[in-house]
Structure 1
Amino acid sequence: MLNARRRLVMNLRYLRALLKRFRPTMLMAVLLFGLMPLLYQWRHVTPEGNRVSLGKALRHVYFLLYGQPYLDVDDSLLMFVDMVIPPVGIAVLVDGVVRFAYLFFARHRQDKEWFEVIAETLTGHVVVCGAGRVGYRVVSQLRALGKDVVVVEKREEAAFVAVLRDEQVPLLIDDIRSHQCLPRTNVMKAAAIVCATDDDLANLNIALDARKMNPDIRVVIRLFDDDLVAKVRDTFKAEALSSSSLAAPAMALAALDPRIVHSFRIGTHLMVVSVFEARQGLPGMSISEVRDRFGGLTLSMRRRGERAERLHPSGETRIEAGDALTVQAEYGDYRKLRAFTQEAEAPVFATRTEGLT
């Protein structure tokens, strides 16, 4: 239902943007088929001395577009109009109608003009540069949060181009460093841009260009060079993330402890997430006691025999034997909790989350 509503809203936005873009074509259509027939009805007189009907005047204007006049006029003004309508109509109206129909009915092609029209309908969206593994995961997460997203990728054969098109995500195949690329994404009205290509220099260039076009845009940059991360954060006031620095703690701890399902840093503190099955020590304790004694924040709890997890259980909740707790703690506190519970192997239901690579 939500996806159908999103598609309906997108289609209405797209139609509105097309009407705005083809405003000259619409005005020409009104002029030709609205005012010109009235002119012929007013000026043209049949050999019998009668005024031509509005229907015949409209038919005359229509066939003039194809160089086939329906009326035989002898009025100088109307003769001049007869000569002007065919070339002007073909150059402006017919071309505009064909392009309008192409863009409206052939949206699956996702060419540059189609993409630009879609981007014009968006405000507060996120521009994601790069359709690789990281870029695709960023797009998936943003869409799950209900954000409008447009994607730019340089290579047609990139890993997730076909997948994004199947999911009807607006995607532009273009060199992000070209002068026309960022304007096509409507970056001036975007809330954020995520530079997730595999080229540090390209990511920096994109960030600088985006900030120049939109000083208030939030910039997130993926970098491979750890030395650049701090410099970029301080100099450009952008959120710079290093794939290696994000993945390194998870990989190192995975090598040492299979129980850890996720890890990250907060300042100098190494935080880990692990799943504990209440067997020894934990049964009888409350959630708040685990936090106060071991610094462990219980993110979720699943009772024995139940499938559904309870997020953020209250501090007064008593732990029972067989309960599964997902706990976040600093690595040192986690080791104390693990020693207290005397758990060596990870529970069979614990799964490792995928890191950013």
Structure 2
Amino acid sequence: MKLSRRQAQVNLRYLRALIRRFRITLVLSAALFLLGPLFYCFRYVGPDGTGITFGEGLHHVYFLMYGQPSLPYVRDWLIELVNVVIPPVGIALVADGVVRFAYLFFARHKNDKEWIEVVTETMKGHVVVCGAGRVGYRVVAQLREMGRDVVVVEKREDAAFVSALRDEQVPLLIDDTRSPLCLPRTNVKHASAIVCATDDDLANLNIALDARRLNPDIRVVIRLFDDDLSGKVRDTFKAEALSSSSLAAPAMALAAMDPRIIHSFHLGKHLMVVSQFDAREGLPGLNIASVRDRFGALTLSLVRGGEEKLNPPGDEVIHAGDVVTFQASYPEYRRLRAFTCESEPPTWSHQPATDVPPGQRKAG
């Protein structure tokens, strides 16, 4: 129900954007099919001396656009002038305006740059993700899970996750990011952030510079492969520059030392780790607050009887058999493992299967 309501709101915003873009065409079309028949109603007098109804005037205007007038010819200079003007004006309105309006409305999920431009006009505070590779796709999935509007830019039609993004109805622009019209088509001026996640450091920097030029307040996140370059960009460009190697190195090093660590990151000079504990030795009988005070470990979740409780309160007592997820600095983590009589990491043969859900994965 929530997804349907959100989709209905998106469709309504899209329709409003289309009406705003084609407002002149729609007004002229309405004038043609309203004022034209009224003109014939008041001006036209047939050979037998009788007038016509509004319906007959509308019928005449419609077929006159295709060179097939439905009313008999009369000698009236003004009617003759209108009969000559309506066909080219009407065809121009229908061909260039109404047809394009209908196409963009009913073909919303086609790969069309104009459609993308109209869709992004309905967005404000969205995130632009450049690159439809593995990293870009995961970023998009995470952002959509958090309820954010996302626009993706990819230069290659055959990129790895292009078809998957289209199946999920994510607005996807196939265009070269070096094109001066590429980022404006994503409405980057009203975006809250841009993620540069292509596999080319220079392209990511160019995208970031163009985005800052169009929107000085936009948050910029850049994926870079060069560690030295990422540090310089972070300090001078005031952007969040992330190096793939620097992100992967701590996780790989800790996985080699202790496979029970499921996540790691740096907080300043401190190496923080996340790990799950089976409440067997030491932990049963302690409450959450006492573990924090004694070992500096924050409790992220507690699983008991198949039910997971996020951020359990400090007076929650840990029972035998509970699975508790702690976050702590690496030295504090080692002390907590020693307290639970698990100071030595398990061998690989004792590790759980990788397809076990994270909330039910148990430490060795």
Moved more, 257-266 or 337-346: 337-346
Matched, 1:170 2:171: yes
Moved more, 164-173 or 320-329: 320-329
Partner of 1:185: 186
Q: Is the 8 Å Cα contact of residues 277 and 323 (structure 1) preserved in structure 2? A: yes
Partner of 2:136: 135
Partner of 2:22: 22
Normalised by the length of structure 1, the TM-score is 0.94
Alignment of 1:186-205 (within 5 A): 186-205=187-206
Taking the aligned partners of 1:31 and 1:321, their CA distance within structure 2 comes to 78
Q: Is the 8 Å Cα contact of residues 276 and 325 (structure 2) preserved in structure 1? A: yes
Deviations 1:183-228 (A, max 9, x none): 1001111111111111111111111111111111111111111111
Alignment of 1:1-357 (within 5 A): 1-71=1-71, 72-303=73-304, 306-343=305-342, 344-345=345-346, 348=352
- Secondary structure class of the residue paired with 2:109: helix
Taking the aligned partners of 1:311 and 1:23, their CA distance within structure 2 comes to 50
Q: Is the 8 Å Cα contact of residues 47 and 74 (structure 2) preserved in structure 1? A: no
Q: CA deviation at 1:97?
A: 1.9
- Secondary structure class of the residue paired with 2:180: coil
The amino acid of 2:154's aligned partner reads: E
Taking the aligned partners of 1:315 and 1:61, their CA distance within structure 2 comes to 77
Q: CA deviation at 1:250?
A: 0.4
Deviations 1:269-308 (A, max 9, x none): 00001111111122222212211111111111122xx111
Taking the aligned partners of 1:26 and 1:135, their CA distance within structure 2 comes to 39
Moved more, 229-238 or 126-135: 229-238
Identity, in percent, stands at 68
Deviations 1:8-58 (A, max 9, x none): 111111111111222222122112111111112222212232322222111
Q: CA deviation at 1:147?
A: 0.7
Deviations 1:61-91 (A, max 9, x none): 1111100111213211111111111111112
The amino acid of 1:106's aligned partner reads: A
Q: CA deviation at 1:7?
A: 1.5
Taking the aligned partners of 2:195 and 2:330, their CA distance within structure 1 comes to 30
Taking the aligned partners of 1:256 and 1:218, their CA distance within structure 2 comes to 36
Deviations 1:236-274 (A, max 9, x none): 211111111111100110011111011000011000011
Normalised by the length of structure 2, the TM-score is 0.92
Moved more, 333-342 or 100-109: 100-109
Q: Is the 8 Å Cα contact of residues 132 and 154 (structure 2) preserved in structure 1? A: yes
The amino acid of 1:289's aligned partner reads: S
Q: Is the 8 Å Cα contact of residues 262 and 352 (structure 1) preserved in structure 2? A: no
The amino acid of 1:168's aligned partner reads: Q
Q: CA deviation at 1:110?
A: 2.5
Structure 2: gaps (5+ residues): 359-364
Taking the aligned partners of 1:195 and 1:202, their CA distance within structure 2 comes to 8
- Secondary structure class of the residue paired with 1:168: coil
Q: Is the 8 Å Cα contact of residues 211 and 218 (structure 2) preserved in structure 1? A: yes
Taking the aligned partners of 1:11 and 1:25, their CA distance within structure 2 comes to 21
Deviations 1:130-161 (A, max 9, x none): 11111111111111111111111111111111
Moved more, 318-327 or 123-132: 318-327
- Secondary structure class of the residue paired with 2:135: helix
Structure 1: gaps (5+ residues): none
- Secondary structure class of the residue paired with 1:110: coil
Task: Show structure 1 runs of 4+ deviating over 4 A.
Answer: 346-353
Partner of 2:361: none
- Secondary structure class of the residue paired with 1:310: strand
Q: Is the 8 Å Cα contact of residues 270 and 331 (structure 1) preserved in structure 2? A: yes
**CA 1:286/1:347 → structure 2, altered by over 3 Å: closer, same or farther?**
farther
Moved more, 69-78 or 160-169: 69-78
Q: Is the 8 Å Cα contact of residues 276 and 347 (structure 1) preserved in structure 2? A: no
- Secondary structure class of the residue paired with 2:318: coil
- Secondary structure class of the residue paired with 2:195: strand
- Secondary structure class of the residue paired with 1:109: coil
Taking the aligned partners of 1:10 and 1:327, their CA distance within structure 2 comes to 40
Q: Is the 8 Å Cα contact of residues 260 and 352 (structure 1) preserved in structure 2? A: no
Taking the aligned partners of 2:131 and 2:353, their CA distance within structure 1 comes to 34
Q: Is the 8 Å Cα contact of residues 221 and 239 (structure 1) preserved in structure 2? A: yes
